[in-house]
A and B are shown apart, each in its own frame.
Chain A
């Protein structure tokens, strides 16, 4: 089932609030992580004070611990210092410490988005969100200035406290060269509880597997 190059290097972890997987993407200047995520259904409307959720992909330089993250969230965002009951894009730099929330561009519930953190040249890491038809719907302007080159580490993250629902779907891919993309190891490494990510097919994974 698992045909990915470097599959043995994947690692899946959880702190019981987040479930995330990591894979070494390769070395050099071109690598990346991509995620296809289906936002929660039209019933989504976050009014719970405890309600926070996000899904994201990362590229990380293992040697410098530089990292670039992109995804969506709902709840209180540190970057904005405000609460969103809807679904919003965000990205972080500086190993997740500095967050930028896009609060004016509501994402559509029940839709599929592609997030990509792609280190495509020596000095430029590009992050963006696109709809399933390929149309790019968001790209923060600050994303062209991050030097992450070196050994790459792709990471996907699914973070949903237990009170949150409904389930979403996602597929995570990683790239050793910025060109070839491979489905990622949630399937073999994290299919069982408590990882809550279930392999469905070569291009389809379900968060909250089995629920």
Chain B
């Protein structure tokens, strides 16, 4: 699967020192009221057995963070999501997280952002970063319902899409996803939440990450 394999958590990275990805990715201070549950280096597997050596020269760095709103982790909100889990054959008892991605009545009974994911890829050249950007922005047919594009203005090239992660926006999260490249850095930032999810709230997170990328690149 062309997917991310987390290799090591932050503790395992201690000996490698700070990375650019770690320095610019969405942090807890960006998201008060959220629980961070992903934080670590990642690697694009990209099926190396199928790729040419040129294709294999992918990211030098991959760093990922993930957050979920605390209203989904405990209390009444958690109970709503646990009901979805049980209905689908999963046992949420004693688990530190609700079943993700969030779905069910929680989506229509709450507002704003529920989940945030930020993946930073740092390449050796602008061209390699551009190639990744081009792959990541290919049409997502079948991935979303009510998919549409929103004007984006970050970095050297950028794209923002929004769509519902299921057939009913009252039961499934709406996602906003911005993919942008600044120099040799490609970032994929997703916010997911209720149908009233705010473009301004999403854009503030992108702004913050992009500002840090620019500072680190000396732009």
Given A42-B91, A49-B38, A140-B142, answer yes or no on A77-B3 (Cβ-Cβ < 8 Å): yes
Sort chain A's interface into a size bin.
35 or more
A-B contact pairs, 10 of them (CB 8 A): A49-B38, A80-B165, A83-B100, A83-B101, A92-B1, A95-B51, A99-B3, A108-B88, A157-B1, A159-B1
Of the candidates B5, B45, B117, B141, the one whose C-beta lies within 8 Å of that of A83 is B117
B117 near A73 with CB under 8 A, answer: no
A71 vs B100: C-alpha distance in the bound complex, in angstroms? 19
Interface residues of B (CB under 8 A from A): 1-6, 9, 37-40, 42, 44-51, 64, 66, 85, 88-92, 95-101, 103, 115, 117, 119, 135-136, 138, 140-143, 165-167, 172, 175, 177, 188, 190, 192
Across-interface contacts of B166 in A (CB, < 8 A): 103-105
Interface residue? A190 (CB, 8 A): no
A17 near B5 with CB under 8 A, answer: yes
- B20: shortest Cβ distance to chain A, in Å? 20
What is the 8 Å Cβ interface bit string for chain A, positions 168-179, against chain B (1 contact, 0 not)?
A: 000000000000
Of the candidates B46, B85, B135, B142, the one whose C-beta lies within 8 Å of that of A100 is B142
A76 near B117 with CB under 8 A, answer: yes
A104 near B3 with CB under 8 A, answer: no
A50 near B50 with CB under 8 A, answer: no
Q: Which residue of A lies closest to B90 (CB)?
A: A45
Of the candidates A42, A73, A83, A161, the one whose C-beta lies within 8 Å of that of B89 is A42
A43 near B142 with CB under 8 A, answer: no
A104 near B66 with CB under 8 A, answer: no
Across-interface contacts of B90 in A (CB, < 8 A): 42, 44-45, 86, 106, 109
Given A104-B165, A106-B88, A108-B89, answer yes or no on A85-B5 (Cβ-Cβ < 8 Å): no
Interface residue? A133 (CB, 8 A): no
A96 vs B44: C-alpha distance in the bound complex, in angstroms? 11
Interface residue? A184 (CB, 8 A): no
A47 near B96 with CB under 8 A, answer: yes
A80 near B143 with CB under 8 A, answer: yes
Of the candidates B96, B142, B177, the one whose C-beta lies within 8 Å of that of A81 is B177
